[in-house]
Structure 1
Amino acid sequence: MKMPRDPRNTFSGSAERYFKSTDHQTGPDLDFIRETAGRAMPAVTVDVATGPGHALKAAAPFSGFCLASDLTREMLEVARKHLSGAGLNHVRYAQARAHELPLPDDSADLLTCRIACHHFPSVPEFLREARRALKYNGTFVMIDSIVPSDRDAASFMNRVERLRDPSHVRSFDLNQWREFFRVEGFIVRTVRTFQRTHPFREWGARVGLKGEGLENIEAVFRDAPEGIKEIFRIETGPGGVVVSYTDEKAIFSACRAE
């Protein structure tokens, strides 16, 4: 397998499209973050790989100090524009890798990371960093795409994601995530899953994919085995045009084990 591309090569030119994306602007995961922050009223909230800032927009109204971190400068600029435009002026911004957060130990009451971990070169390394930065009684909310436990289905979706965006590293299944949390010293309090249907062309356009690149992925979807088409609910129209597919997301709420 090729080494994943630097995510900045993907996201530097697509930040505004990610802000406008219906996949990212709405969802039960944002409701979960909003409810969690509303109950906890955290003094310090940190959003890792904030992208255009949707997760922090949900948490910030209930939070004191807020930090938005992201590897891509252009994403931070879009987040700053839209969060400031929403009157959320108590947010600070930091360009940082997910496993090198500019935070002291035991500092975050609420730490969030939404739809980003599949780009991280090492999930365990990120979880260790999250645990370091999180207060003992703090809450860590991690949301990401997951794949089925079926090996062929998991391989199919990871292949498709890498074709679309070479910065994709890997999506994991639910049990793999549970084991990551256990090994890295977290207690998982809540797990929820939900499905997300992606309009195919919007999904491709978000990362600037068009022409032959989009056609190649369309062929992979169209030629997939029937079992794979059923799992991912691949919908086609006249002439075999791919209309949409559906994947699954997981919401984990965890705390430090000690």
Structure 2
Amino acid sequence: MDFKKNVQKQFGKSADSYVTSTIHKDGKDLGKLLEMASINGEEKLLDIATGGGHTANAFAPYVKKVTAVDLTPEILAVAEKFIKGNGHQNVEFVHGDAENLPFSNEAFDMVTCRIAPHHFPNVERFIEEVHRVLKPDGQFLLDDNVVPEEDHFDQFYNTIEKWRDYSHFRAWKKSEWLRMLELAGFEIFEWHRFEKTFHFDPWCNRMNLSQDEKEKLAEYMKGASEKIKNKFRVVFEADQVNSFQGEAVVLKAIKR
């Protein structure tokens, strides 16, 4: 099974949980994305890998039209139900691949992508596609989990994410994002770092991890070095992993 089939399979069975997920629906990063955007009400916005539809839903009242695209038909269906249930009529839903977008050149004024690129096997191709579909001076608003610059921390975080979720490909370093975007023809206009607390049980359960695998993953985290535990603020209660802390970057880049 190829990697994108894995993504579709994983998100197909977890679709409803992404609409109700606290991290996805209530994150303060979503407010920051809106705050960073320059909007006059006439924009055509593309939301890539819309997931539960929270970003498309948040922007819909402020722009002319939102196009929400996702690789997984099941998750598009729940996003549509969620967004239309909130009364938004200016959102269309399109089945499509972030690395091969079914849209013409310079079709959009804005592109958003939130908590998704760590699932993309060819993130540079995704960035090229964003650049292609944006109009000159168009805005790209990106929000995703990232890893620290130190390789040991990078390896630990990507290992536990891949263990929990086989559709996870890679969370990138902040420096890697800045480099990839600038090499693709974007200027980094503004960026912010967010800390994110992951509660172990809901984090595992959202991806339907078996009890056996949850226990093995918890043992792996317990066996990590003190330096890693301190960096990721791993909290234990009664010798069980209760939570840990990751980080995300929210940034605005302009197509030049």
TM-score band w.r.t. shorter chain? over 0.9
CA distance in 2, matches of 1:6, 1:45: 28
Quote the residue 1:173 is aligned against: 173
Q: Map 1:14-163 onto structure 2 (within 5 A).
A: 14-37=14-37, 39-163=39-163
Quote the residue 2:225 is aligned against: 225
Aligned-residue CA RMSD (Å): 1.4
Quote the residue 1:242 is aligned against: 241
- Displacement of 1:30 after TM fit? 0.7
Query: Which secondary structure state, in structure 2, belongs to the residue aligned with residue 13 of structure 1?
Result: helix
CA distance in 2, matches of 1:176, 1:34: 24
In the alignment, is the contact (CA less than 8 A) between 1:190 and 1:254 conserved in 2?
Answer: yes
- Displacement of 1:213 after TM fit? 1.1
- Displacement of 1:38 after TM fit? 6.5
Identity of aligned residues (%): 33
Question: For residues 42 and 127 of structure 1, do their structure 2 counterparts lie closer, same or farther at Cα, with a shift above 3 Å needed?
Answer: farther
Q: For 1:19-69, what per-residue CA distance to the aligned partner results, in whole angstroms no more than 9, with x for missing partners?
A: 111010112221023224573434201100000101111111101121000
Quote the residue 2:255 is aligned against: 256
Q: For 1:166-201, what per-residue CA distance to the aligned partner results, in whole angstroms no more than 9, with x for missing partners?
A: 111111111111100111111010110110101100
Query: Which secondary structure state, in structure 2, belongs to the residue aligned with residue 209 of structure 1?
Result: coil
Please tell me the residue identity of whatever aligns with 2:6. Answer: D
CA distance in 1, matches of 2:102, 2:43: 17
CA distance in 2, matches of 1:133, 1:244: 39
In the alignment, is the contact (CA less than 8 A) between 1:16 and 1:78 conserved in 2?
Answer: yes
CA distance in 1, matches of 2:40, 2:46: 14
CA distance in 2, matches of 1:36, 1:92: 23
How many matched pairs?
A: 255
Taking structure 2 as the reference length, the TM-score comes to 0.96
Query: Which secondary structure state, in structure 1, belongs to the residue aligned with residue 172 of structure 2?
Result: coil
In the alignment, is the contact (CA less than 8 A) between 1:33 and 1:58 conserved in 2?
Answer: no
Q: For 1:112-158, what per-residue CA distance to the aligned partner results, in whole angstroms no more than 9, with x for missing partners?
A: 00011011011110000000001112110011100000100100110
Query: Which secondary structure state, in structure 1, belongs to the residue aligned with residue 229 of structure 2?
Result: helix
CA distance in 1, matches of 2:26, 2:10: 22
Question: For residues 25 and 133 of structure 1, do their structure 2 counterparts lie closer, same or farther at Cα, with a shift above 3 Å needed?
Answer: same
Taking structure 1 as the reference length, the TM-score comes to 0.95
Please tell me the residue identity of whatever aligns with 1:152. Answer: H
Structure 1, unaligned stretches of length 5 or more?
A: none
Quote the residue 2:211 is aligned against: 211
Query: Which secondary structure state, in structure 2, belongs to the residue aligned with residue 216 of structure 1?
Result: helix
CA distance in 1, matches of 2:227, 2:252: 32
Query: Is it true that 1:195 corresponds to 2:183 in the alignment?
Result: no
Query: Which secondary structure state, in structure 1, belongs to the residue aligned with residue 215 of structure 2?
Result: helix
